[in-house]
A and B are shown apart, each in its own frame.
Chain A
């Protein structure tokens, strides 16, 4: 049996085993939590904006779940630093899959996009455009 799977390339496993920017963020501008009810994946994204409240200065995350959801949160926390809220809002599923750099099987897409949806919903709530307590990924 060969080791490994297309979905679990080194980069994914590395981010899962050594998550970047993992932990609470004391001076976060906003934090938001979401879950994938079917899997039990849970991720909270903590975002600190610059003084103009447009550019993302720093992102951290907490939570646990499968390797795909956690690696995605770790990679997203790096990617979002220095981007704007508008750029975050403009991200879609394909951007997340590009970021992960692997083929995500259809049943696992909701694991992959959880962190992105949580960050986007968090931004919308912060701007007063959305009112939910917890983001839940749907099929």
Chain B
């Protein structure tokens, strides 16, 4: 391709793992720039799912037969693999498989929040939280009679850390923050926020849905008490999310969902809980998805998360540079040239984000338009909707050029 991204990643070769990128609409090859919503799934991960169903499929932890043993071992080892992927030295006991990041948030909010929060307690959120974190804690705080406070966002799309020191105080019981904003692209100083929380004997929950897919994450270096992410945003399948929790916290918590698999002994009157992490995985769990997510972790480690991070940041900055050529494009979040996740939210002055997305679709350019599940942040920004282009390992500068050309087409249509 002769462009800078080839210095970091062999994008041409990587793209061969994603046949979906060869699809054409209206005679134009798809330009997939909606990766913050979901990433495409490479062949090795798809093959893992197919291979599991073709050769190993069985329920886990209950059959004495060979297939069940193989499925159980692969499923358990997938927990170890994900623990290693995010630096959880406690291994599988600190890794719960859920449905998605949202369910991971709900698990902690219900199992820890309802038990521990009460009147006088404060849950600290940020103005850039995704609804997964914001709505969950807002509602659990209401049920518990606790208050919610927000760390504000500065003009240039960062958390106001000066304010954070005031907002996080002696009444704070939980701080729930997004690691990388899905709208602003801001990379938040989560380790610093963890220190602030711990200084007040509060816990910190980090929403890593937009961080784990594209940068090395070490939950212990952050000192996160809980850390959540989703499979389908990191080259893995839908239907699986991960909750990391410090072992002693998960041990102290009651279960979130009840049923089979999560119990050790049941009588007519009572039940005892299974060991970690199974205590939090009621019912038949996400077996194929868990095993496939471990394959996605392998795939990303083969590329190297540092390389993914540099590639994405280079693409995001290139998009910022191209957008800066036009007076009628407003972008949100940190300015060009500064650290950001691989996404840019923007508006074109004369074209509503939904119209823009529809017109880009006619050019086979896939972006997201709407509020990106951050309505309170859009209120702070004073807008109702925005368009968002988000990148992954297989995207190129040439695709960003196509995006910019398609935006120009929309602009002319609405001129």
A68–B352 alpha-carbon span in the complex (Å): 10
Residues of B within 8 A of A23 (CB): none
Report whether A108 and B358 are in contact in the complex, using a CB–CB cutoff of 8 Å. Answer: yes
Cα(A19)–Cα(B405), bound, Å: 28
- Residue on A nearest B385 in the bound complex, by CB: A40
In the complex, are the beta carbons of B358 and A1 less than 8 A apart? no
Residue contact B359 to A8, C-beta cutoff 8 Å:
yes
Give the complex CA separation of A5 and B361 in angstroms: 9
**Interface residues in A61-91 (C-beta closer than 8 Å to B):** 65-68
Contacts of A16 in B (CB 8 A): 414
Say yes or no: is A38 at the interface (Cβ < 8 Å to chain B): yes
Distance A1 CA – B352 CA, assembled complex (angstroms): 20
Taking residues whose C-beta sits less than 8 angstroms from the other chain, chain B's interface range is 20 to 34
**Bound CA span A13–B359, Å:** 13
Residue of B nearest to A35 (CB): B384
Chain A: residues with Cβ within 8 Å of the partner, total of 20
Interface string of B75-115 (1 = CB under 8 A from A): 00000000000000000000000000000000000000000
A38 near B371 (CB under 8 angstroms)?
yes
Give the residue name and chain of the A residue nearest to B363 (CB). Answer: A1
**What A residues does B199 contact at CB under 8 A?**
none
Which A residues from 12 to 69 make CB contacts under 8 A with B? 13, 16-17, 38-40, 65-68
Q: Is the interface of B mostly helix, strand, loop or mixed?
A: helix
User: Is B354 touching A111 in the complex (CB atoms < 8 A)?
Assistant: yes
Cβ of B361: which chain A residues have Cβ within 8 Å of it?
A: 5, 105
B362, B409, B413: the one contacting A13 at CB < 8 Å is B413
Given A1-B363, A5-B362, A8-B359, answer yes or no on A39-B354 (Cβ-Cβ < 8 Å): yes
- A4 CB within 8 Å of chain B: yes
- Contacts A39-B384, A111-B354 given; indicate if A67 touches B414 (C-beta within 8 A): yes
Out of A3, A65, A108, name the residue touching B413 (CB < 8 Å): A3
**B409 is contacted by which of A1, A68, A105, A108 (Cβ under 8 Å)?**
A1
**Pairwise interchain contact A105-B405, C-beta atoms closer than 8 A:** no
Nearest-neighbour CB distance to chain A for B410, whole angstroms, equals 9
* Docked-complex contact A1 and B405, CB < 8 angstroms: yes
- The yes or no answer to B355 lying at the interface (CB within 8 A) is yes
Q: Please, how many angstroms separate the alpha-carbon atoms of A39 and B358 in the complex?
A: 13
Chain B nearest CB from A105 CB (Å) reads 7
Q: Is A66 touching B409 in the complex (CB atoms < 8 A)?
A: no
Q: How far is the CB of B112 from chain A (nearest CB, A)?
A: 31
CB distance from A101 to the nearest CB of B (A): 16
A103 → chain B, closest Cβ, in Å?
11
Of A3, A4, A40, A108, which is within 8 A of B384 by CB? A40
Chain B: residues with CB nearer than 8 A to chain A? 352-355, 358-359, 361-363, 370-371, 383-385, 405-406, 409, 412-414
Q: List 15 A-B contacts (CB under 8 A).
A: A1-B363, A3-B409, A3-B412, A4-B362, A4-B409, A5-B361, A5-B413, A40-B371, A66-B354, A67-B355, A67-B414, A68-B354, A105-B358, A108-B354, A111-B354
